Structure 1
Amino acid sequence: MRHPVGIIGVGNMGGAMAMRLRDCGWPVQVCDTDPARIQLLEPFGAVAQQTPAQLAINSVAVIVCVVNAAQTDEVLFGPQGVAGVLQSGRTVILCPTISPQDVESFAARLGERGIHTVDAPMSGGPQRAREGTMSLMVASEPTVYDRQAALLQALSSKVFHISSNPGDGARTKLVNNLLAGINLVGAAEVLALAGRMGLDLEKTLDVIEQSSGQSWIGSDRMRRAIAGDFAPRAHVTLLEKDTCLAVEAARAAGFEGPLGARAAQVFAQAHQAGLAELDDAAIFKYLQGR
């Protein structure tokens, strides 16, 4: 059964998820602080709601796809939040990249109201979200997972059930995104070096893509960077936030590696250099100028 689904936050990823679900025949309601984002989805049959609370009234599952923990707290527990109206036994699916401790706290507070939590951060970008091929790192009780399996599988052909403990999805996502940040900084560094050496950047990247230095994020972002395309798909600030959260999680676990903190520092420096609102491919632009 395709039960009614609400999506709060329909930017690049949330909007792509809404279109994907509508393609698959799911009834979808959407809510966002930016009316223009909602207008883009109405031709697909998504129903607009003014507040998270209004969206939650008739939703069996609510997908939260905002940016950070503060926004998540507001849409869940604020004056017009989901938790005040969502029926006991229904489910909140948390997709933002936030700290494991925040996920655990939100899950506990929702649980006090009889609301289930699926910790489900995502990876892959808007195009893969639209196609249903992004990765979902899911942590939830098995019965809750089974109840939402059809919805999760409509969203993604790559659903990984990490554990029964909300918070472990967030941990997995932070590990992944720390590596993505390290790989992106590394790819930008070597392409900036190749340019300084007088090499053709397109040909250099052709070689890297077929050799031991290849990474998906490096190829994806550096193709855009070489073309001078820094229109934001994922802002510099997102990986700045995610790598910072990952380094904090590493410290909480008593681990300190040689690369993670340095990669996080590069994103912070690019932000300070005025590149915050550009695509994270702009790390190349920042390193090219050094």
Structure 2
Amino acid sequence: MTRTVGLIGAGNMGFAMMQRLLDQGWAVAVCDTAPAVQQRALAEGATLADSPAELAVHCESLIVAVVDAAQAEQVLFGDQGAAEQLPKGGTVLLCPTLGPDQVEAIAARLVALGLHCIDSPMSGGPARARAGEMSLMLAAPAAVLAQHEALLGVLSSKRFVISERPGDAARTKLVNNLLAAINLAGAAEVLALAERLGLDGGQTLDVIEQSSGQSWIGSDRMRRALAGDLVPRAHTSLLRKDSALALRAAQLQGFDVPLGAQAAALFERACQEGLAGLDDGCLLGLLRR
């Protein structure tokens, strides 16, 4: 069972990571709150656990791919939490986008239990995760990263070791995601403007993609939005959460982020208007109005 990896949270990214590991010959045990997701995971070849605690008994490495800090703390330290059931010396890969202080607090609790924590937020979307090509930002002691080189190598061909201090990968992810929010908000705004000016949105995006206005997230999300495809690969609520966390980190440093604040306000508005569960490319429709 030493190659069995536990996965808590088989959403879009978690499920793609699970598929990648299974493809590469790793055994994966999954725990998710949605019965339908559990059954999909079983059909893919994963084994199932009814609780994080049950899952942890069989694993030395545990990937936590839930949404936020509250969920991460619950699955690790709550009733039926995984942390106390992991074997001493086990490792938790903390993959959600969290505040640096939240990562530091969770890591300290894990270390107190004799466990390791790899601060390992991810970026790139489910397709890249499925192919093992997503980005992983990593902060953990070098010996811990070396111990898990095989697992990390399967998950990501784009690994960035930020430091040995948990929380630094989270800081890097927040900076990245704030820029993603700014870029996506800008792409939606200019395409809505292009259409108001009488231009074709798809043709305009063709030009942008080969010119100075290009951004990966703008192209990825706007192509789908122009086609009317808002099936969520990345929910609008996630960038609302992440941009708000980035603003809080900036405020703690006394650093002003005017563009980031405007982008965060737009994601907040989208969620207030009922778009939280849609793909974040829905900003185009919001700005068209």
TM, length-normalised to structure 1 = 0.98
Q: 1:256 offset after TM fit, Å?
A: 0.8
For 1:272 and 1:79, locate their aligned partners in 2 and report how far apart those are by CA, in whole Å: 32
CA contact (8 A) 2:88 2:115 kept: yes
1:60 aligned to 2:66? no
Identical-residue share of aligned pairs (%): 60
The number of residue pairs the alignment matches comes to: 289
* Residue of structure 2 equivalent to 1:102: 102
| Shift, 1:36, TM fit | 0.8
Contact 1:69 1:102 in 2 (8 A): yes
Q: Report the alpha carbon displacement of residue 2 of structure 1 after superposing the two structures with TM.
A: 6.7
Equivalent runs, 1:24-43 vs 2, <5 Å: 24-43=24-43
Structure 1 residue aligned with 2:245: 245
CA contact (8 A) 1:20 1:130 kept: yes
| Equivalent in the alignment of 2:50 | 50
Give me the whole-angstrom Cα distance separating, in 1, the residues matched to 2:61 and 2:88. 11
Aligned partners of 1:8 and 1:255: how far apart in 2? Answer: 35
The answer to whether the 8 A contact 2:134-2:158 is kept is: yes
Distance 1:277 1:56 in 2: 30
The residue that corresponds to 1:114 in the other structure is 114
**Secondary structure of residue in 2 paired with 1:281:** helix
3-state secondary structure, aligned to 1:98: coil
Q: Tell me, in whole angstroms, the C-alpha distance in 2 between the residues paired with 1:5 and 1:228.
A: 37
Kept after mapping to 2: 8 A contact 1:2/1:26: no
State the 4+ residue runs in structure 1 displaced beyond 4 angstroms. none
Return 39-48 or 85-94, whichever deviates more: 39-48
The Cα of 1:167 is off from its aligned counterpart by 0.4
1:191 alignment partner in structure 2: 191
Deviation at 1:257, TM superposition (A): 2.0
- Decide whether the 8 Å contact of 2:76 with 2:83 is kept in 1: yes
Deviation at 1:237, TM superposition (A): 0.5
Q: Secondary structure at the match of 1:36?
A: helix
Alpha-carbon distance, 1:253 to partner: 1.8
Unaligned runs of 5+ in 1: none
Mapped contact 1:7–1:62 kept (Cα < 8 A):
yes
Q: State the Cα distance separating 1:23 from its structure 2 match.
A: 0.4
State TM-score, norm by structure 2: 0.98
- 3-state SS of 1:259 partner: helix
For 1:129, the aligned partner's letter is A
Q: Secondary structure at the match of 1:250?
A: helix
Give the distance between the partners of 1:11 and 1:67, measured in 2 at CA. 9
Query: Aligned partners of 2:113, 2:124: CA distance in 1, in Å?
Result: 33
Deviation at 1:230, TM superposition (A): 1.1
Deviation at 1:273, TM superposition (A): 1.5
For residues 119-158 of structure 1, the aligned pairs below 5 Å read 119-158=119-158
Q: Secondary structure at the match of 1:108?
A: helix
- 8 Å contact from structure 2 (residues 2, 59) kept in 1: no
